[in-house]
C-alpha cells in the first residue's frame, strides 16, 4: 500500500522547553518482558507491532510533555495491549478451528469525525442482524463473549460502571452507548498501529499516517474473528472515522467491505474534534498549547481525507455510500432507510421502533451543549474551508452558518 508523501505543517514549539524525559519511559523490550512475565506466555502473534510500539514510546518521550503523574495509566494501557496479544495467540492455539471461521461484510462507517458517524452507527447497532464491535470486548478480547453470558460479563459490567463516571461535559460531546459498535481503538492499539488521538503524540501521528497498515488489518481480522467465534451474528458493523487513512489496507483484509462515508462542513468538524481530543488528553506537565493542537488536528484530518479521496478513486465508487450530516439531522429515519436500501438489507418494524426511541432520547442537545470556538485553537472558519476546498468541492459539502 502506498503512503502519502505530504508532511504536516510543523507547529511552533511552546516557549518553555520540554523536559529531558530520556529514561522516563521503558523500552519496548522491557514492556514485552513484563507482559510475558505477567502471563507466562511468549507468543505475541503476527504483524509488525514492534515498529508502532517503538514509534509511540519515542513520541511519548519527545512530544507529549505529560505530567509524570500520568505515567502509570499510560503505561498500563500499553502493557495490557501486549497481554491481550499474548492471550489471543494462546486462545488460537487452544482453538485452531478459528482459523477457518468466516465472517460477512463488514459495513464500515467512515469519514471525518464529528459528522454523525456515532449517531448513525448507534442507530444501526440496534439491529440484531449486525455484529457490533463493542468497546468492552475490545479492551479484553479473551475469552470471547457469548450471547447468553454477555449481559453479566464482568467486562461489560465494568464498562457500564465506567460510563456512569464519565463527566457531564464529555457526555455533551460524545454518545456513550454500551453495546453499540465503536471505534476499534483497542484492536488497532494491540497492533500499535492505531490513530492514538487520546495522546498528544504528534510525531507518532505523523509516523502512523505514513505507515503501511496491511499487516495491521490482517491482525485486526484475526481479533475480530476470535470475538465472533462464540457470539453471532457474522455480519459486522464497524464505525471508525480514522479508517479513511488506510482504506486499501482494510479492503485487503476484508475484500467484501462496504463503506458508508459521512460528510460535514470542516469548519464545524475541525474545532469540534480538537475540543474533544484535548479534553481527553492526560494532564500535561505545563500549560497545554491549544493552538498547536488546533494546527496538528486540522492538518491530520485533512491529510486523512486526501488519502480517502485518492483511495476511493482506485477502489471504485461502488463500495461507497455518501451521507451528509445536514440530511442525517433533517431526517434521520430517511437516512437510515436509504442506508439499508443501499446495503440490500431489510429494515424491520421492531428495529424502526428502537431507532425512534433512541433518537428521542439522544436528539441534539439532549445530553448538554458542547461549547467551543475555532479561535481558542488558533483556527478560523475561512482558513479551514480554504484548506479543505478539495474535499468540499468533491463531495458538495454544505457550509453551515
- In sequence order, the 6+-apart residues with CB closer than 8 A to the CB of 265 are 325, 385, 392, 397, 398, 399, 400
In this prediction, residue 345 carries a pLDDT of 98
pTM: 0.91
Identify the H or E element spanning 357.
helix 349-362
How many angstroms separate the CA atoms of 213 and 191, rounded?
A: 10
Q: What does the radius of gyration of the chain's CA atoms come to, in whole angstroms?
A: 21
Q: Quick one: which of 8, 56, 6 has its CA closest to 193?
A: 56
How many angstroms separate the CA atoms of 171 and 367, rounded?
A: 6
Structural domains of the chain ordered from first start: 42-395 (3.40.50.300)
In this prediction, residue 169 carries a pLDDT of 75
End-to-end Cα distance, the chain: 39
- Using a 10 angstrom Cβ sphere, with 0-12 exposed, 13-18 middle and 19 or more buried, the burial of residue 134 is buried
Residues 192 and 52 sit within 8 Å (Cβ to Cβ): yes
Residues 10 and 202 sit within 8 Å (Cβ to Cβ): no
| Total residue length of the chain | 401
- Using a 10 angstrom Cβ sphere, with 0-12 exposed, 13-18 middle and 19 or more buried, the burial of residue 270 is buried
Q: Quick one: which of 390, 302, 308 has its CA closest to 6?
A: 302
How many angstroms separate the CA atoms of 130 and 126, rounded?
A: 8
In this prediction, residue 371 carries a pLDDT of 85
pLDDT by residue for the chain (401 residues), tens digit each? 333 333 333 333 333 344 445 689 999 999 999 999 999 999 999 999 999 999 999 999 999 999 999 999 999 999 999 999 999 999 999 999 999 899 999 999 999 999 999 999 999 999 999 999 999 999 999 999 999 999 999 999 999 998 888 777 776 676 778 999 999 999 999 999 999 999 999 999 999 999 999 999 999 999 999 999 999 999 999 999 999 999 999 999 999 999 999 999 999 999 999 999 999 999 999 999 999 999 999 999 999 999 999 999 999 999 999 999 999 999 999 999 999 999 999 999 999 999 999 999 987 766 677 888 999 999 999 999 999 999 999 999 999 98
Q: Quick one: which of 63, 65, 127 has its CA closest to 355?
A: 127
- Cell readout for 400 is 453551515
- Residue 136 sits at the vertex; the CA angle it makes with 273 and 90, to the nearest 5 degrees, is 125
Beta strands in 45-191 (DSSP E): 104-111, 131-132
Please name the residue that has the C-alpha cell 498501529: 193
Amino acid at each position: 500500500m502506498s503512503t502519502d508523501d505530504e508532511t504536516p505543517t510543523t507547529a511552533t514549539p511552546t516557549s518553555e522547553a520540554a523536559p529531558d524525559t530520556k529514561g522516563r519511559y521503558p523500552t519496548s523490550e522491557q514492556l514485552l518482558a513484563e507482559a510475558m512475565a505477567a502471563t507466562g506466555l511468549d507468543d505475541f502473534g503476527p504483524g509488525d507491532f514492534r515498529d508502532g510500539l517503538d514509534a509511540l514510546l519515542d513520541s511519548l518521550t519527545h512530544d507529549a510533555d505529560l505530567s509524570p503523574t500520568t505515567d502509570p495509566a499510560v503505561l498500563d494501557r500499553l502493557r495490557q495491549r501486549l497481554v491481550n496479544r499474548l492471550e489471543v495467540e494462546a486462545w488460537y492455539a487452544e482453538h485452531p478451528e478459528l482459523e477457518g471461521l468466516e465472517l460477512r461484510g463488514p459495513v464500515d462507517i467512515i469519514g471525518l469525525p464529528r459528522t454523525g458517524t456515532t449517531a448513525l452507527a448507534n442507530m444501526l447497532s440496534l439491529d440484531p442482524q449486525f455484529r457490533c464491535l463493542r468497546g468492552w470486548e475490545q479492551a479484553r478480547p479473551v475469552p470471547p463473549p457469548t450471547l447468553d453470558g454477555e449481559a453479566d460479563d464482568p467486562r461489560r459490567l465494568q464498562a457500564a460502571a465506567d460510563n456512569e463516571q464519565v463527566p457531564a461535559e464529555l457526555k455533551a460531546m460524545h454518545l456513550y452507548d454500551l453495546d453499540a459498535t465503536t471505534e476499534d481503538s483497542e484492536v488497532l492499539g494491540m497492533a500499535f498501529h492505531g490513530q492514538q488521538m487520546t495522546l498528544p503524540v504528534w510525531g507518532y501521528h505523523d509516523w502512523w499516517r505514513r505507515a503501511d497498515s496491511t499487516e495491521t488489518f490482517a491482525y485486526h481480522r484475526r481479533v475480530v474473528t476470535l470475538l465472533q467465534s462464540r457470539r453471532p451474528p457474522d455480519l459486522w458493523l464497524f464505525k471508525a472515522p480514522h479508517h479513511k487513512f488506510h482504506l486499501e489496507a482494510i479492503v485487503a483484509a476484508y475484500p467484501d467491505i462496504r463503506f458508508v462515508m459521512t460528510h460535514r462542513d470542516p469548519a464545524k468538524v475541525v474545532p469540534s474534534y480538537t475540543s474533544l481530543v484535548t479534553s481527553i488528553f492526560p494532564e500535561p506537565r505545563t500549560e497545554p498549547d491549544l493552538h498547536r493542537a488546533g494546527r496538528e488536528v486540522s492538518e491530520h484530518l485533512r491529510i486523512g481525507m486526501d488519502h480517502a479521496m485518492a483511495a476511493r478513486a482506485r477502489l471504485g465508487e461502488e463500495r461507497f455510500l455518501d451521507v451528509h450530516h445536514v440530511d442525517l439531522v433533517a431526517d434521520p429515519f430517511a437516512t437510515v432507510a436509504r442506508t439499508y436500501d443501499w446495503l440490500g438489507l431489510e429494515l424491520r418494524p421492531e428495529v424502526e421502533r428502537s431507532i425512534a426511541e433512541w433518537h428521542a432520547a439522544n436528539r441534539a442537545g439532549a445530553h448538554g451543549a458542547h461549547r467551543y470556538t475555532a479561535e481558542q485553537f488558533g483556527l478560523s472558519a475561512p482558513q479551514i474551508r480554504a484548506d479543505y476546498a478539495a474535499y468540499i468541492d468533491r463531495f458538495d459539502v454544505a457550509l453551515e452558518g
